[in-house]
Structure 1
Amino acid sequence: MSTPLKLNKPLVSVEWLFENKSAPNLVILDATLPKVGQQQSASSKIEGIKNALFFDIKNIFSDTSAPFPNTAVTPDVFEQEVRKLGINQDDALVIYDRHGVYSSPRAWWLFKTMGFDNVAVLNGGFPEWIKAGYASEALIEYNGALGNFKSSYNSNALFDYKKVLEVLSDSKKIIIDARSSDRFKGTSPEPREGLRSGHIPNSKNLPFTELIDDGKLISQTELIQKFDHLIDKESDLIFSCGSGITACILALGAEVAGYKNLAVYDGSWTEWGSLHQLPIESD
């Protein structure tokens, strides 16, 4: 039997995954979320990496009763639903999506938030897997025994608007917004009706698209340059976006670049822009 995998970095290549696909504790998750305007496909009809399971961010791993989209579920619900996928505490998780690198970092961050670190994102996702000539098949539906996954919630990993308000005047805590520069500046309207335009006071802008090249995360050297241009290594970073998805791309990039003390503002601009008592800036 081959040695169980231990993932010591947050990003793996398709070549690495292919070489390690027979590891006894490997679980591959498809965490595809439709982009704005796209429809969610039925998982039974989805082609994916062999033996991959569907990690349903939209319907299972978001609180569908919450007022804002993509709100994280409670640790208890997360634990219960992950166990239904047969995932155990000693598993190694590799997460991909069918856009390249888009929604997979959200699933990666949720696992990190729940205290699980043996997890990585597949760089380039399913498109890169196919480009490399590796085989695909329909996603399987797990029907085996429950896993023994245990949530150990890190309350510092996910912020709500109250925690963001508390750090607005702290120069060592930097909010970085992953939206486009036009949305950040307030010169383009928000896609969600009723939202104010602009950004959180004192926040900085790093569009997530600047971290992606042809569906893959840019190199560690390039990531370091992107972040070092905005902040210093001692800063605590809080990432925001439209609804908590692409902020996690920045979190992934920052971790690859060597930053620590990272958090994601879960409600992001959908929440902040909806609450008229909260301050905003625009350029």
Structure 2
Amino acid sequence: MPNTNLVSSIVSCNWLYENEHLEHLIILDASVKSNHSTTDDQIPNSRHIDIKRKFSDVNANFPNAFPSKKQFESEARNLGINKDSIVIVYDDKGIYWSPRVWWLFKTFGFKNIAVLDGGLPEWKKQGYLTSLSSNVKNWKLGNVIATYNTSKMCFFDGILKATNDETTTIIDARSSDRFNCEIPEPRAGLRSGTIPNSVNLPYTNLLSGNCLKPKQELQTIFNTFTIGENSVTFSCGSGITACILALAAKISDYKQITVYDGSWTEYGTLTT
């Protein structure tokens, strides 16, 4: 069967069920667990993608740090990702970790990837079968080539400029309690606070149950902010849930989207 170009950044469980035998399809399980073992349920034929260790710079000062082009390409190839692969990524929380994987792949030039709407909980809810996860690799080394798109990731120097740039809207995905400094940050020792000139859109506001809200509802939510022709930079606690906002913005037809990699963990540590 010929390759399929995905037309959306998100697919339904029904789409995956009906297309799970596509020749070039690769299903990635982005769930993060303390011990990813053979007792974990997963969608059949999934390959576990280790965001925390394999697809992050573990030597960086902050968690979930952006990997190098070399690291990304090597680890993606280890997962059997080819230039012509169709990649669907999901996680066991619904939509939480998977958008980070989607955004990393997009940032490194891989376009044929989508998030499974609702993830594993929705897959189970709709009655589709699961299997026990396995550490056995039954695939060949991939041949994907990474091409870094610098416009998709923002780092500390970039966020400092963005706070004084009227053509950039900074949107924080943390809960309103955290954004408004009404509760402590969950990370020990990290001060409360907000990035100057940022606004708040808790990522949970974009969800309906396990799934993203429909496109029209997402657009209505984003329209409550004065974005206009501005570029949009998304932040959160440590660069994970900001990618949920990036996914929703992409679905809502925004073009100039950036994720602040270090997010509040970095900003709150390096500033006073």
Q: TM-score, normalised by structure 1?
A: 0.93
Following the alignment from structure 1 to structure 2, what is the Cα–Cα distance between the partners of residues 103 and 110? 11
Matches within 5 A, 1:87-98: 87-98=81-92
* Residue identity in the other structure for 1:226: I
Listed as ranges, the gaps of 5+ residues in structure 2 are none
CA RMSD of aligned residues (A): 1.2
Following the alignment from structure 1 to structure 2, what is the Cα–Cα distance between the partners of residues 11 and 29? 14
Q: TM-score, normalised by structure 2?
A: 0.96
Cα shift at 1:130: 1.0
The one of 62, 65, 85 aligned to 2:59: 65
The one of 178, 186, 191 aligned to 1:191: 186
Listed as ranges, the gaps of 5+ residues in structure 1 are 35-39, 278-283
Per-residue displacement from partner, 1:232-276 (whole Å, max 9, x unpaired)?
341101100000000000000001111111010000000000113
Cα shift at 1:197: 1.2
The equivalent residue for 1:210 is: 205
Matches within 5 A, 1:1-283: 2-34=1-33, 40-140=34-134, 141-276=136-271
* Residue identity in the other structure for 2:263: S
Cα shift at 1:168: 1.4
Following the alignment from structure 1 to structure 2, what is the Cα–Cα distance between the partners of residues 110 and 5? 21
Contact 1:176 1:238 in 2 (8 A): yes
State the identity %: 48
Following the alignment from structure 1 to structure 2, what is the Cα–Cα distance between the partners of residues 252 and 61? 19
Report the count of equivalent residues: 271
* Residue identity in the other structure for 2:247: L
Following the alignment from structure 1 to structure 2, what is the Cα–Cα distance between the partners of residues 105 and 233? 24
The equivalent residue for 1:37 is: none
